[in-house]
Structure 1
Amino acid sequence: MTDRYCVFGNPVSHSKSPAIHAAFAAQCRQDISYQAILAARDGFAASVHSFVAAGGRGANVTIPFKEEAYRLATRLTARAQLAGAVNTLLFDGADILGDNTDGAGLLRDLSLNLACPIAGKRVLLLGAGGAARGAVAPLLDAAPAALVIANRSVARARDLAQGFGRSGSPSACGYRALAGQSFDLVINATSASLAGELPPLPAALFASGSLAYDMMYADGGTPFLAFAGEQGAARLADGLGMLVEQAAEAFLLWRGVRPDGAPVMAMLRPIDPGIAARR
């Protein structure tokens, strides 16, 4: 019998997750179906319960529902508890296990696919929402020289940083306070790229040899990556690798086998150079 999985989001039509999980299923010889479901912004819980009632076995969760998914889960993995956000759900009757595979996917893409170790680097994380929350603990575990969290709401950035003080002491600030600072790795975890927008960043953020990384992905790049290129970032990378690697972690949770992300990335990445040439 075919097992059903999905991704919930709003918007969600842009999602590559159905193609990724179809490729994983073929690679691992698993009988599953996977669809994208547009949930109303005030109807996430209802959409989840409806999917479970129809036989759903698990789900991915994307913008803007990761923190709501955290509250909906009846059990949480350790990394989801640390993140305060959930991007992967596993259903077993009335039990809903919440996990967060974002950080693992990000670190695997940075260290393995991009050959960009974090140890000793100055890292800037833009945003303090669900995507950023999943990244903080894994980034701290990788021993950066410094981790700065910047957000429009300084209070929210500080709340996030203080929640991880025991893991390493990230600092927090607003975007204006970044003026005069430079970083080896700048990660955009905001949703601005989905709207074709750019966080209000000062110039000269990118140190010599730096990597600019946007967790969002778009054929032809994003406003953040265009800005980074103009400001002298040595390398640009969008979030396609992270998307594939976090999906592989979710697939492992659901099916007990971890697929190889490399051939799926090769399938999805446009042949036209674009961002791929700068990875």
Structure 2
Amino acid sequence: MTDRYAVFGHPIAHSLSPDIHAAFGRQEGIAVDYRAIDATPDGFLAALEAFAAEGGRGANVTLPHKEAAFALCTTRTARATRAGSVNTLLRKGDRWHGDTTDGAGLVRDLTDRHGQDLRGRRVLLLGAGGSARSVAPSLLDAGIRELVVVNRTPERADELIDAMGEPGRALSRYWDDLHDLGDFELIVNATSAGRDPSASFKLPLSLVNSMTTAVDLNYGDAAIAFLAWARAAECRNTVDGLGMLVEQAAESFQQWHEVRPDTDAVYAGLRGNHRLTGEE
């Protein structure tokens, strides 16, 4: 039976992950069977079981399934346990092992591709869902000075901060407090609020200083609204989630195939492609 790989999400037709893993496979001389599988929240577990029965050896998981994927894993990496979120699954016998590669992908993209030194930076994280949880531990591990999480449902932000276990460096605040939080060197949008490119994304200009980099974990049309705000606010740098997507995919690929592909050529090829919508 051929080993199969996939990305699960809802919706998922827009996903670039099959293209990325196919490119990695060509680069490494590995025949990769990787597809996108649309699964509703109610149907995710059944879809994953059917995939495993057909030879599924590994999978990526995107919205809205990252926390459900975490719950179904028998074993997890330390960073996935801390995040409470899983985006990478590896089949071990008849069970799933879970990891989260988003945060490592984000940090690698910011530091290696965009030349950002995250040490000592004050960071604002917008959102507290699966995407936010998946990047928060890696941001802290990268040496940032302070992480402030703001979410429209305060309880979710509190839960994320509690999971980080660093009360001196990580704290939660209310969305209505944004005007009073001061300025940040890094602002990360992990919400879905900007996914309508025709909508406006409004945040206080007081959040921005002369060094601010604004990052949207989305890419393409889904990142337009937030990055438009960031440019209007005169952020020093604006970054979408395409680089993170490629880097987290490379982390997954390495776990499945025991070789890390080169990401620069794949990133450059995708950056030149106009078909860029969605999160994964």
Shorter-chain TM band:
over 0.9
Q: 1:168 to 1:117 in 2, by over 3 A?
A: farther
Structure 1 pair 195–67 and aligned structure 2 pair: CA distance change class (3 A): farther
**How far off is 1:195 after superposition?**
4.0
Give the whole-Å Cα distance in 1 for the aligned partners of 2:47 and 2:195: 22
Given candidates 260, 263, 273, the residue that maps to 1:261 is 263
> Which letter maps to 2:176?
R
The CA deviation at 1:240 is 0.3
1:23-62 equivalences under 5 Å are 23-62=23-62
Aligned twin of 1:201: 203
Which amino acid is the alignment partner of residue 111 of structure 1? T
2:132 is matched by which residue type in structure 1? Answer: A
| CA–CA distance in structure 2, aligned partners of residues 63 and 198 of structure 1 | 22
Alignment of 1:130-279 (within 5 A): 130-166=130-166, 169-180=169-180, 181-196=182-197, 201-218=203-220, 221-270=223-272
SS in 2 for 1:115: coil
Aligned-pair distance for 1:169?
A: 2.9
Name the counterpart of 2:71.
71
Task: State the shift of 1:202 in Å.
Answer: 2.6
AA in 2 matched with 1:67:
E
Distance (Å, rounded) in 2 between the aligned partners of 1:44 and 1:37: 10
1:238-269 Cα shifts (integer Å, max 9, x gaps): 00000000000000110100111111001100
- After superposition, the C-alpha distances for 1:44-92 in whole angstroms (9 at most, x for unaligned) are 1111001001111110000010000000111111111111000000113
Amino acid at match of 2:172: A
Q: Report the alpha carbon displacement of residue 199 of structure 1 after superposing the two structures with TM.
A: 5.9
Which AA in structure 1 matches 2:137?
A
Q: Name the SS for the 2:261 alignment partner.
A: coil
2:23 alignment partner AA: A
Q: Distance in 1 between matches of 2:223 and 2:71?
A: 33
Q: Letter of the aligned partner of 1:190 in structure 2?
A: T
Q: Is 1:88 paired with 2:109? A: no
Identity of aligned residues (%): 49
CA contact (8 A) 1:175 1:201 kept: no
Question: May I ask how many residue pairs the two structures share in their alignment?
Answer: 273
Q: Distance in 1 between matches of 2:193 and 2:222?
A: 16
Determine helix, strand or coil for the equivalent of 1:179.
helix
> Which runs of 5 or more structure 1 residues have no equivalent in the other structure?
273-279
Give the TM-score of the pair, scaled to structure 1. Answer: 0.92
TM-score (norm 2): 0.92
CA drift at 1:145: 2.1
Aligned-partner Cα distance in 2 for 1:243–1:110? 12
Match of 1:192, SS state, is: coil
| Change in 2 beyond 3 A, CA 1:102/1:70 | same
Counterpart Cα distance in 2 of 1:101 and 1:37 = 19
Would you say the 8 A contact 1:204–1:231 is kept in 2? no
Q: For structure 1, which segment, 110-119 or 262-271, has the greater mean C-alpha deviation from structure 2 after superposition?
A: 262-271
Alignment of 1:108-127 (within 5 A): 108-127=108-127
| Deviation per residue, 1:17-43 (Å, 9 max, x gap) | 010000000111112111111001211
Q: Once the 2 structures are TM-superposed, how far is the Cα of residue 13 of structure 1 from its aligned partner?
A: 1.3
Counterpart of 2:56 in structure 1: which amino acid? Answer: G
Which deviates more, 238-247 or 219-228?
Answer: 219-228
